[in-house]
């Protein structure tokens, strides 16, 4: 039994079925849209990023607070006074460019094969400063993969090899 941590870069061509569409098209959504919507509706439980052991469970409000930004703009009202107006910037799933995976690799004696089992995934966004300079990566939250398999099995993705056959996110993993 061996623990492996991997990174899925959604910008690589082989991972494009997980990244696109960036906007929902009929019944098709990207992996990040599915994960974020499932976390907000409560079908997938998010965990904190302090460790990858799924010990600190996050609430939906904490996830929304992490993913949305509230900026203040000062606007002059009709009486000439300057008043602050909050501007809420919603979470953009297209900003998630990578996923961190926690896997267990084990040897199956029955089949004589080395197999991998995904334990958890963590969406990662890029962090920029006020000037637009890249400052690093920001992991959002961990999800326990076996809990999310039912959700992933119901989400179709584009099959680049066959237009007639529908595959799901679960099939890709």
**Token pair 């995904």 in the structure block, residue:** 118
What are the start-end ranges of the E strands in the chain? 2-9, 46-47, 69-76, 82-89, 96-108, 113-128, 134-139, 142-144, 156-157, 167-168
Please tell me the predicted confidence (pLDDT) of residue 105: 93
Question: What pLDDT does residue 69 have?
Answer: 82
What span, in angstroms and rounded, lies between the C-alpha atoms of 92 and 22?
9
What is the per-residue pLDDT across 102-137, written as a single tens digit (0 to 9) for each? 999 999 899 899 999 999 999 999 888 888 888 889
148 pLDDT band, cuts 50/70/90, is very high
Is the bond into 21 cis (omega within 30 degrees of 0)?
A: yes
The pLDDT of residue 157: 80
pLDDT computed for residue 147 by the predictor: 93
Indicate if the pLDDT at residue 8 is higher than 90: yes
Helix axes 145-153, 31-41, angle to 10 degrees: 110
Are 17 and 172 within 8 A, CB to CB?
Answer: yes
Q: Across residues 13-27, what is the average pLDDT?
A: 82
| pLDDT one-digit tens code per residue, 39-92 | 999 999 999 998 888 999 999 989 988 888 877 788 888 888 888 888 888 888
**Confidence (pLDDT) at 120:** 94
CA–CA gap between residue 80 and residue 76 (Å, rounded): 6
In this structure, the chain runs to a length of 173
Residue 141 reports pLDDT greater than 90: yes
User: With 80 as the cut, is the pLDDT of residue 25 above it?
Assistant: no
Contact of 78 with 60, CB cutoff 8 Å: no
């Amino acid at each position: 039994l061996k623990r492996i941590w991997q990174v899925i870069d959604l910008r690589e061509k082989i991972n494009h079925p997980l990244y696109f569409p960036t906007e929902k098209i009929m019944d098709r959504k990207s992996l990040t849209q599915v994960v974020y919507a499932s976390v907000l509706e409560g079908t997938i439980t998010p965990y904190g990023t302090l460790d990858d052991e799924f010990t600190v469970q996050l609430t939906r409000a904490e996830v929304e607070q992490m993913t949305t930004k509230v900026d203040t703009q000062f606007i002059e009202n009709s009486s000439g006074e300057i008043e602050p107006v909050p501007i809420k910037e919603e979470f953009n799933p297209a900003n998630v460019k990578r996923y961190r995976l926690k896997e267990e690799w084990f040897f199956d004696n029955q089949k004589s094969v080395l197999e991998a089992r995904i334990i958890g995934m963590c969406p990662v966004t890029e962090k920029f400063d006020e000037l637009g300079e890249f400052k690093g990566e920001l992991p959002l939250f961990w999800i326990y993969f076996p809990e999310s398999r039912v959700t992933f099995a119901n989400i179709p993705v584009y099959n680049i090899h066959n237009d007639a056959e529908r595959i799901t996110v679960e099939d890709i993993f």
